[in-house]
């Protein structure tokens, strides 16, 4: 419990640090923020400038601005888009589910494909299987996921004459069309991730397989299937989960590009559009949500350890 409390406090502090970083970053903007808000370069009178600054609270000293911004954010107010005037919070709330669906499906795909492949590679004596796994591992790490996405689109169109629908359909409206749309993006994200997971599963399984209690389990006459799944995999899971957790950063980064390529209006798409339109409240808000997600997933992975391996007790 003490560990948990410390961990939670540290998580909050890290997020505070991130908020300071994001706040300062946007204040570093070259050029005048008034021109960006008004969308006019140097065509406002002095009085108009002051009015715009006051309206957005930009005439106050920096620390005051920061505290106001943070306070508003804690109350769920992320400000208003410079471009559309829409509240950023509701924009994020409508876009976040798409990103969550994409990321969850990718992790699911990686788990369903990567772990069995890694297990197979660990017990296989066939040189072909081991080489195959090694090749997948190395390729997955080296091919940029946006290139994989492009190749998948080309492949789907040339081989099957099929392309995913361009306008996003939510799973509540039509789950089947939605899954079709998600298929290629998920595949492109999962490919790189599985490479790491397959490699880690294999080496972690091999390490556990060499231990005495596995020999005991075999000697007891347990079926090799039971030994493999109940005794070996269970004990090999901690490093595998760690590696999946560590990859979340890459996954969240990959989501930005994948959403852009496939036209999925998720959080990454929103971030990029904010960047392209210099809509800084949107940029600040989405980056903050990315940080919160990232930090929470890391916390979750930490908690998962105690469940997977009861010997791990945080003190």
Residues in the site for other proteins, rule: CB under 8 A? 13-15, 17-18, 21-22, 25-26, 28-30, 138-139, 141-144, 146-147, 150-151, 153-154, 157-158, 199-200, 203, 206-207, 248-250, 252-254, 256-257, 260-261, 271-272, 275-276, 278, 283, 287, 290-291, 294-295, 298, 302
Measured from the CB atom, the residue of 90 and 157 that comes closer to other proteins is: 157
Measured from the CB atom, the residue of 32 and 170 that comes closer to other proteins is: 32
According to DSSP, residue 166 is labeled S
Q: Give me the least distance between CB of 293 and other proteins, in Å please.
A: 9
Strand partners, 80: 87
Q: Give me the least distance between CB of 270 and other proteins, in Å please.
A: 12
The percent helix, strand, coil of the chain (3-state, each to 5) is 75, 0, 20
Measured from the CB atom, the residue of 89 and 291 that comes closer to other proteins is: 291
Instruction: Taking each helix axis as running N to C, give the angle between helix 88-123 and helix 267-276, from 0 to 180 degrees, rounded to the nearest 10.
Output: 130
SS3 for 31? coil
Q: Give me the least distance between CB of 64 and other proteins, in Å please.
A: 21
Question: How would you classify residue 144: left for phi > 0, otherwise alpha for psi between -120 and 50, otherwise beta?
Answer: beta
Measured from the CB atom, the residue of 169 and 295 that comes closer to other proteins is: 295
Q: Give me the least distance between CB of 173 and other proteins, in Å please.
A: 27
Measured from the CB atom, the residue of 171 and 309 that comes closer to other proteins is: 309
Q: Give me the least distance between CB of 29 and other proteins, in Å please.
A: 6
- The set of residues, in sequence order, having a beta carbon less than 8 Å from that of 86 and lying 6+ positions away, is 80
Q: Which two tokens stand for residue 178?
A: 């939605």
Taking the C-alpha atoms of residue 257 and residue 146, their distance in angstroms, rounded to an integer, is 7
Given a contact cutoff of 8 angstroms between Cβ atoms, the answer to whether 197 and 118 are in contact is yes
């Amino acid at each position: 419990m003490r560990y948990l409390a410390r961990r939670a406090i540290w998580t909050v502090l890290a997020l505070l640090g991130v908020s300071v970083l994001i706040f300062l970053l946007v204040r570093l903007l070259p050029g005048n923020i008034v021109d960006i808000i008004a969308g006019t370069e140097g065509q406002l009178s002095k009085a108009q400038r002051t009015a715009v600054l006051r309206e957005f609270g930009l005439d106050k000293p920096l620390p005051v601005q920061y505290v106001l911004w943070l306070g508003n954010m804690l109350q769920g107010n992320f400000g208003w888009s410079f471009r559309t005037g829409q509240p950023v919070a509701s924009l994020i709330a409508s876009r976040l589910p798409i990103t969550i669906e994409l990321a969850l499906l990718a992790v699911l795909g990686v788990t369903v494909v990567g772990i069995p492949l890694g297990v197979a590679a660990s017990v296989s004596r066939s040189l072909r299987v081991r080489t195959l796994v090694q090749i997948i591992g190395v390729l997955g790490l080296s091919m940029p996921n946006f290139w994989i996405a492009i190749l998948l689109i080309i492949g789907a169109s040339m081989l099957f004459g099929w392309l995913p629908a361009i306008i996003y359909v939510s799973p509540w409206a039509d789950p089947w069309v939605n899954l079709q749309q998600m298929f290629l993006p998920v595949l492109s994200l999962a490919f790189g991730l599985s490479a790491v997971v397959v490699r880690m599963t294999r080496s972690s399984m091999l390490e556990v397989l060499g231990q005495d209690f596995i020999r005991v389990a075999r000697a007891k006459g347990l079926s090799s299937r039971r030994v493999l799944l109940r005794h070996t995999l269970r004990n090999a899971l901690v490093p595998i989960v760690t590696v999946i957790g560590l990859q979340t950063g890459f996954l969240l980064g990959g989501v930005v590009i994948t959403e852009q390529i496939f036209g999925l209006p998720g959080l990454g798409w929103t971030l990029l559009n904010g960047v392209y339109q210099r809509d800084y409240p949107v940029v600040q808000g989405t980056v903050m949500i990315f940080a919160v997600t990232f930090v929470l997933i890391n916390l979750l992975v930490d908690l998962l350890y105690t469940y997977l391996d009861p010997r791990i007790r945080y003190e």
